[in-house]
């Protein structure tokens, strides 16, 4: 006995699909279309200009600076975050004192995990306001306060953090690492727990040191998870919009001082909303899209290894 299947299938799928088409797929496609026009965003009139937006884009020095900053984040953010979280995950899962030769995490591993993960559930708005207070340029800032207390900086010439052209981008990256490590730590922990304990125990019996087991057992078996983490972090590095636009100096969508923390997404939004160059902004969107896509595919290809079954 078969109930009528197709009315049910259509009935269940129609609303999600329409919603998704109208609000997600169509806008993405439109971005491509608008990138070929001189649309200002405010009016509905626009002219087809072919690839002019794209040629203009590659001559735009601010865009090149922004691209460079994104690439810098793209390289350094995953490295810093993955190294720290791998180290912590290893400590929490197998770094403990092996009393009977067994393998276990340090004491209080669960407690550390709960704390480390917490920034992940804070919104960027909170992160932004929080770190603006931490990075205050006077002695009321937490970071300057701590550094003066430790005697690491002169109280009369405190560091300028977000106001310092050479530090602003690093400050933003610091926040990204601070909030991201916990998530990847938990991600790596979950993967590490699926590695059978007897592999470690066999290695330890053979006289391996714990640092050795990390490089010869943990890392190779974790490779796929590290790859996933890399792709996620790369996407985060290409974005960074919310933090840069709210934390850094600059009247519209941050990026200051003097473009020193500009990223592509903030420059895109400024062109779209403030400068009324929506077509140009869409062209940037398309470029970012392709860079993201290419990077994801390339990094997955390059780092591909044979899957190890256990």
Q: Are 145 and 139 within 8 A, CB to CB? A: yes
Q: Using CA atoms, how far apart are residues 265 and 80, in angstroms rounded to an integer?
A: 22
Shortest Cβ 91–other proteins spacing (Å): 4
Residue 144: closest CA among 131, 129, 126: 131
Token pair 């496609």: residue: 29
The secondary structure element, H or E, covering residue 43 is none
Identify the residue among 83, 138, 215, 308 touching other proteins (CB under 8 A). 138
CB 165 within 8 A of CB 258: yes
Contact characters 171-210, other proteins, x per CB under 8 A: -------x--xxx--xx-xxx-x----------x----xx
How far is residue 303's CA from residue 197's CA, in Å, rounded to a whole number?
26
Residues 16-35 that bind other proteins (CB under 8 A): 16-17, 19-20, 22-28, 30-31, 34
Q: Residue 299 Cβ, how far from other proteins at the closest point, in Å?
A: 14
Among 116, 159, 161, 230, binds other proteins (CB under 8 A): 116
215 makes contact with other proteins (CB under 8 A): no
Q: Which of residues 43-82 bind other proteins (CB under 8 A)?
A: none
Stretch that binds other proteins, among 52-60, 65-73, 137-145, 300-308 (CB under 8 A): 137-145
Three-state SS string over 154-222 comes to CCCCCCCHHHCCCCHHHHHHHHHHHHHHHHHHHHHHHHHHCCCHHHHHHHHHCCCCHHHHHHHHHHHHC
Q: Site for other proteins (CB under 8 A): which residue of 46, 62, 72, 87?
A: 87
Residue from 47, 97, 305, 307 touching other proteins (CB under 8 A): that is: 97
Q: CA 47, 279, 281: angle at the middle one, nearest 5?
A: 170
Q: Is 139 in the site for other proteins (CB under 8 A)?
A: yes
> Can residue 235 be called a binding residue for other proteins (CB under 8 A)?
yes
Given the rule CB under 8 A, which of 63-71, 73-81, 280-288, 299-307 is the region that contacts other proteins?
Answer: 280-288
Q: How far is CA 81 from CA 65, 91, 180, 289, in A?
A: 23, 15, 7, 23
| Residue 238 touches other proteins, criterion: CB under 8 A | yes
From 40, 46, 62, 132, residue interacting with other proteins (rule: CB under 8 A):
132
The least distance separating other proteins from the CB of residue 218, rounded to whole angstroms, comes to 14
Q: Which stretch binds other proteins (CB under 8 A): 48-56, 61-69, 73-81, 136-144?
A: 136-144
């Amino acid at each position: 006995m078969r109930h009528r299947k197709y009315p049910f299938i259509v009935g269940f799928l129609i609303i999600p699909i329409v919603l998704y088409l109208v609000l997600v797929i169509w806008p993405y496609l439109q971005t491509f279309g608008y990138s070929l026009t001189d649309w200002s965003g405010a009016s509905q009139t626009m002219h087809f200009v072919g690839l002019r937006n794209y040629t203009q884009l590659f001559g735009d020095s601010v865009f090149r600076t922004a691209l460079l900053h994104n690439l810098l984040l793209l390289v350094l953010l995953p490295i810093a975050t993955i190294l720290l979280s791998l180290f912590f995950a290893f400590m929490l899962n197998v770094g403990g004192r092996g009393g009977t030769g067994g393998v276990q995490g340090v004491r209080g591993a669960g407690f550390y995990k709960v704390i480390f993960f917490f920034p992940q559930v804070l919104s960027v708005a909170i992160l932004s306001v929080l770190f603006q207070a931490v990075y205050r340029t006077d002695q009321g800032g937490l970071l300057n306060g701590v550094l003066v207390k430790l005697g690491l900086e002169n109280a009369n010439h405190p560091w300028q953090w977000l106001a310092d052209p050479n530090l602003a981008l690093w400050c933003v990256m610091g926040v990204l690492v601070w909030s991201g490590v916990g998530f990847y730590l938990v991600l790596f922990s979950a993967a590490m727990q699926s590695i059978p304990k007897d592999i470690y125990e066999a290695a330890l019996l053979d006289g391996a040191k714990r640092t050795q087991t990390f490089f010869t057992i943990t890392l190779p078996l974790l490779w796929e998870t590290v790859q996933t983490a890399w792709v996620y972090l790369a996407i985060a590095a290409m974005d960074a919009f919310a933090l840069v636009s709210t934390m850094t100096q600059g009247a519209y969508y941050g990026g200051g001082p003097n473009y020193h923390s500009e990223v592509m997404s903030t420059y895109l939004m400024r062109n779209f909303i403030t400068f009324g160059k929506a077509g140009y902004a869409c062209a940037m969107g398309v470029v970012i899209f392709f860079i993201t896509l290419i990077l994801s595919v390339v990094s997955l290809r390059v780092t591909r290894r044979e899957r190890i079954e256990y």
